Amino acid sequence: MQRDQPPVCGAQPTDDGRCLWRVWAPNVRQVELVLAGPPRSIAMTAAPRGYFEAELPNIAEGQRYAFRLDGSEPRPDPASTWQPDGVHAPSAVFNPRLHAWRDANWPGVAADRLVIYELHVGTFTPEGTFAAIVPRLPQLVELGVTAIELLPVNQFPGHRGWGYDGVHWNAVHNTYGGPRGLQQLVAACHAAGLAVILDVVHNHLGPEGNYLPLFGPYQNTRCRTPWGEGLNYDDAGSDAVRGLVLAGVRQWVRDFHVDGLRLDAVHAIHDYSPRHLLADIKLAADEESQRLGWPVHVIAESDLNDVRLLQPLDHGGYGLDAQWSDDFHHCIHCLLTGERDGYYADYPEPAAQLAKALNETFAYDGCYSAVRQRRHGAPAGDIGGERFIVNIQTHDQVGNRARGERLHQLVGPAQQRLAAGLLLLAPHTPLLFMGEEYGETRPFLYFCNFGDRALQESIRLGRQQEFAEFHWQGAIPDPNDPATFEQSRLCWSWPALSPQGGLRLLYCELLAARKRWPALGDFRHRRAQLFAGQGGLSLLRGDSARPAEQLLAWFNLSGSPLPLPEEAHPPHLLFRSEEQRYGGASFAGEGLAPWEFIVWGTHRE
């Protein structure tokens, strides 16, 4: 007997002009399909297990529609793929097959070649659209990244927002350019040689525009996340909810040709099913990936330090391709800023903990966490470093600060160069946050655009109370104020001979070196150790069986000059971070300048 599969919901247009609508609404007795222009209502046919269906001819793309539940106000489609007028307005029919793809020869980007650039569509350009990103793709290619990761682009309330308060999982945000705009951006990225990863949120829904409870038990009131109620992935009716999520996974890959999904905060996805939703997401993505013929990477954002996310299903894991590793960021941040608030309190010896993270991926691999007041994490084992995503800045780490300060506003230029070197020479997959490569001077603040005044005030006061716990002095930018959003737009400027230009050159040359130096493509053979007390760190990359390819990097983790050990001089100096062209100052002494890093090799460039 074959396992039942939940039917696909939403508007499903055919190429001959017909359209089938299906909605899961077990909470109601009757559903009407309400069409606009001219308005008309059609009683939908009840189907087993709470589904309702209707099929009509002569339906054009863009047709607005909604569902009337038991005679109430029409509501948008829970499975909508297009909300051209916002979260509260009717949905619209979208036919993905009308886009003519020309990327049949696109090979994709292998996991060990990923260099990810995280960007927010609304603030990456003055226009804040998918189309406006396209002219900037050549600069990203020149920089040396191989994939862009878009913060959530599904429909959220208003015109301004990070995207994590979305209420239509599978609809592409209207002001960014809608679903057609996303297709065109992905096509342009592939033509430029860049992969596209989408950040998707399946652990909660936003607080405004969520009409799902009117239709059925889409949410699980027993499982709360820090951002609201969880989703129903394992209780009565959960088949339909899981089906909606998995249909979205297939949609992103099949209809939009994305190269990966970054799954937000998977530790907040509550599921006690025999096979976890994460495993089902990976299986669905793999099936669509095989049809397209290039790799699709499923990446988990998780703070659990648990490699079960990556282990295969037949070993009790979820089979995902990669996961975030936050310890790396936290060690470097504490080392350079001295901050110890919140979870940073768990990193009292950042240099030693950083060396451990370079060697073993997790600093917390089963040891006691004072912040959590329990043991945390488990060993990463022999899983290759390319399956762990590391960073020195992200939208979270910047935007969740009171003033949205970027790293260069907290540390000096040499420290920023040191952080870049640690990131790009580490034996893991690097992620850059937009603007970090040239030391963006504008902040990235938390902003939103809710229409409900009570909700606006609640968020404003909540933000103030959150930082009052850290004894923050001064005003907190109002997330709903348009000025908060405007301040967060990139300046996108790195004039020649400026500090911004020097930093970007350092990023460009280090990223070029990742392609040129074989040792940086070896994610298994690495040895990090401290020297000069905890003032210096050495990192050996590459297999000892191929000594001619090995690289040795030395990092000064202090603000004072540091001599190198006598044995620290392989034949050829390949890279020095404090050269003037990177914005550094001339250093007359021997050894390492304050916060400097150098790279040696046995081969010449």
As annotated, the active-site residues are 264, 301
Give the N- to C-terminal CA distance of the chain in Å, as an integer. Answer: 63
Amino acid making up residue 299: I
DSSP 36: T
Tell me, rounded to whole angstroms, the distance of Cα 23 from its chain centroid.
Answer: 30
DSSP codes of every residue in 211-252: -HHHHS--EEEEEEETTEEEE-SSSTTHHHHHHHHHHHHHHH
Q: Check if the beta carbon of residue 239 is closer than 8 Å to that of residue 216.
A: no
For the record, the structure tokens of 578 come out as 């404090």
**Integer Cα distance of 22 and 9 in angstroms:** 5
Q: Which residues pair with 68 in a beta bridge?
A: 32
**Integer Cα distance of 121 and 125 in angstroms:** 7
For the record, the structure tokens of 553 come out as 């990097």
**Integer Cα distance of 193 and 189 in angstroms:** 6
**Integer Cα distance of 36 and 373 in angstroms:** 57
DSSP 562: B
- Strand 147-150 and strand 195-200: the pairing is parallel
Tell me, rounded to whole angstroms, the distance of Cα 370 from its chain centroid.
Answer: 28
- Sign, CA dihedral 103-106-111-116, equals negative
Can you give the length of the chain in residues? Answer: 605
Q: Check if the beta carbon of residue 342 is closer than 8 Å to that of residue 326.
A: no
**Integer Cα distance of 492 and 440 in angstroms:** 7
Give the SS3 label for residue 9.
coil
Task: Quickly count: other Cβ atoms within 10 Å of residue 81's Cβ.
Answer: 27
For the record, the structure tokens of 560 come out as 């004072």
Give the SS3 label for residue 59.
coil
Q: Which residues pair with 183 in a beta bridge?
A: none
Cα diameter, the chain: 84
**Integer Cα distance of 197 and 297 in angstroms:** 8
Q: Which residues pair with 197 in a beta bridge?
A: 149, 260
For the record, the structure tokens of 187 come out as 């096509």
Give the SS3 label for residue 486.
helix
Kind plus residue range of the DSSP H or E element containing 283: helix 277-292
For the record, the structure tokens of 490 come out as 């990139």
Q: Determine if the peptide bond prior to 39 is cis (ω within 30°).
A: no
**Integer Cα distance of 240 and 7 in angstroms:** 8
Task: Quickly count: other Cβ atoms within 10 Å of residue 192's Cβ.
Answer: 13
Beta strands in 252-397 (DSSP E): 260-263, 297-300, 322-324, 367-369, 374-376, 388-391
**Integer Cα distance of 246 and 231 in angstroms:** 14
